[in-house]
């Protein structure tokens, strides 16, 4: 994995590239993937708790995007559409597994930590949060990931999840409460 940040998505350019993808231009597809994959993999990793599965699902998202390219209408942002496909794949993944992810989330300490102690603390915090997030009901986890991690507005989350905005707000509120409850002991030591 590299830490380089791809260029920021440009909605208008995304539309132009999608038209090229629909015409079979693989270079346009390559550019779109380069733009959007990092956030997609980040979101999917938060959902399924595994880098390998996240990459596999992200690959499937782009394959589906390619198949649907000729039918795609730019009514929403491409990034919203991609996360919508990813969300549906995550739902399938949960059904396939029987329930939500149970495996421990992978964690890698960020480079640049000033000391080993602070790195350890960050690692502990991350692990505690990730474990708590993995215990949330699927819809609460998706909502909290999209609002906090991906910084999406409620309306966009509602569109992605195919529910009213009020449901999204409720799930986010419940997710925060549940996370506070799950991390009560951890925060008691602060």
Question: Which residues of the chain form contacts with other proteins (CB under 8 A)?
Answer: 1-6, 26, 29-31, 33-34, 37-39, 41-42, 45-46, 51, 54-55, 58-59, 62-63, 66-67, 110, 125-126, 129-130, 133, 144-145, 148-151, 176, 179-180, 183, 187, 190
Q: Are 74 and 116 in contact (CB under 8 A)?
A: no
The region, left, alpha or beta by phi > 0 then psi within -120 to 50, assigned to residue 112 is left
Which structure tokens are listed for 116? Answer: 């080993």
Closer residue to other proteins, CB minimum distance, 42 or 138: 42
Q: How far apart are CA 168 and CA 162, in angstroms?
A: 10
Closer residue to other proteins, CB minimum distance, 5 or 12: 5
* Among 161, 29, 14, CA closest to 87: 161
Closer residue to other proteins, CB minimum distance, 75 or 120: 120
Closer residue to other proteins, CB minimum distance, 1 or 117: 1
Residues in the chain: 190
Quote the least distance from Cβ 15 to other proteins, whole Å. 19
């Amino acid at each position: 994995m590299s830490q380089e940040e791809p260029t920021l998505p440009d909605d208008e350019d995304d539309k132009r590239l999608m038209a090229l993808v629909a015409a079979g231009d693989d270079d346009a597809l390559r550019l779109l993937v380069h733009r959007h994959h990092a956030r997609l993999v980040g979101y999917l990793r938060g959902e399924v708790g595994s880098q390998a599965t996240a990459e596999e699902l992200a690959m499937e998202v782009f394959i589906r995007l390619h198949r649907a390219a000729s039918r795609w209408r730019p009514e929403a942002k491409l990034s919203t559409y991609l996360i919508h496909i990813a969300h549906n794949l995550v739902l399938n993944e949960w059904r396939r597994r029987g329930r939500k992810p149970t495996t421990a989330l992978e964690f890698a300490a960020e480079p640049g930590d000033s000391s080993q102690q602070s790195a350890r603390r960050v690692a502990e915090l991350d692990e505690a949060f990730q474990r708590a997030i993995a215990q949330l009901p699927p819809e609460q986890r998706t909502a909290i990931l999209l609002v906090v991690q991906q910084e999406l507005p409620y309306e966009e989350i509602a569109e992605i999840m195919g529910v009213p905005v009020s449901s999204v707000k409720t799930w986010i509120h419940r997710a925060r409460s549940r996370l506070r409850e799950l991390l009560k002991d951890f925060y008691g030591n602060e």
